[in-house]
């Protein structure tokens, strides 16, 4: 018996990860749509970075094990990857599991949230994503993460726009 998900968007018609706010104060979101159903979740920047790494490793591995599949979508079309309104997060992401349904040629993201309102069961979401969509998500999310605060060359810590105290310069 297949598990039940709080939100089942398999397959999605659109998926993105983006951030709102000024660098250093940004809130990151992962958002998916299936027809009229729009699901937005708050996600940590580090979780976005980790998801991008997993996606890139998956796509690289797929090109080695299934070269015909991998070459069929090397050109990702330019699509609008901004967040859609209304931006009402349904939960905060605690964990993301990544899988691949080879039979359907679909990447499956299982997203778990933190328990809400004294509930024992945390909310969950299942997104079925095409390889083109997951590649576009990875490329866009990489740009979003990189567009944050500049990193100090000495201590490798993010620098605020108003200045930076570098412990290595002391």
CATH number for 7-169 (one of 3.30.2450, 3.40.50, 1.20.120, 3.10.150): it is 3.30.2450
pLDDT tens profile 79-106? 889 999 999 999 999 999 999 998 999 9
Q: What are the residue boundaries of the structural domains of the chain, listed by start?
A: 7-169
Question: Who contacts 24 (Cβ-Cβ below 8 Å, separation ≥6)?
Answer: 148, 149, 158, 160, 161
DSSP SS3 for 38: strand
Give the model's confidence band at 69: pLDDT under 50 very low, under 70 low, under 90 confident, else very high. low
Length of the chain as a residue count: 170
Rounded Cα distance, 6 and 166, in Å: 45
125 phi/psi in degrees, rounded to 5: -140, 140
pLDDT tens profile 113-159? 998 877 778 999 999 999 889 999 999 999 999 998 888 888 878 87
Rounded Cα distance, 158 and 111, in Å: 28
Is the confidence at residue 72, as pLDDT, over 70?
Answer: no
Rounded Cα distance, 76 and 90, in Å: 29
Find out whether 99 and 111 touch, Cβ atoms under 8 Å: no
């Amino acid at each position: 018996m297949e598990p039940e998900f709080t939100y089942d968007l398999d397959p999605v018609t659109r998926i993105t990860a983006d951030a709102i706010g000024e660098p250093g104060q940004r809130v990151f979101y992962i958002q998916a749509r299936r027809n009229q159903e729009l699901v937005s979740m708050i996600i940590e920047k580090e979780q976005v970075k980790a998801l991008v790494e997993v996606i890139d490793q998956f796509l690289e591995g797929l090109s080695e094990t299934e070269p015909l599949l991998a070459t069929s979508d090397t050109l990702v079309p330019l699509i609008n990857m901004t967040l859609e309104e209304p931006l009402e997060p349904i939960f905060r992401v605690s964990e993301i599991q990544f899988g691949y349904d080879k039979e359907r040629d679909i990447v499956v993201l299982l997203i778990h949230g933190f328990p809400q309102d004294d509930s024992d069961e945390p909310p969950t979401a299942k997104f079925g994503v095409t390889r083109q969509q997951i590649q576009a998500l990875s490329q866009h999310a990489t740009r979003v993460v990189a567009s944050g605060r500049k990193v100090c060359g000495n201590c490798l810590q993010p620098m605020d726009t108003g200045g930076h105290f570098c412990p290595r310069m002391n």
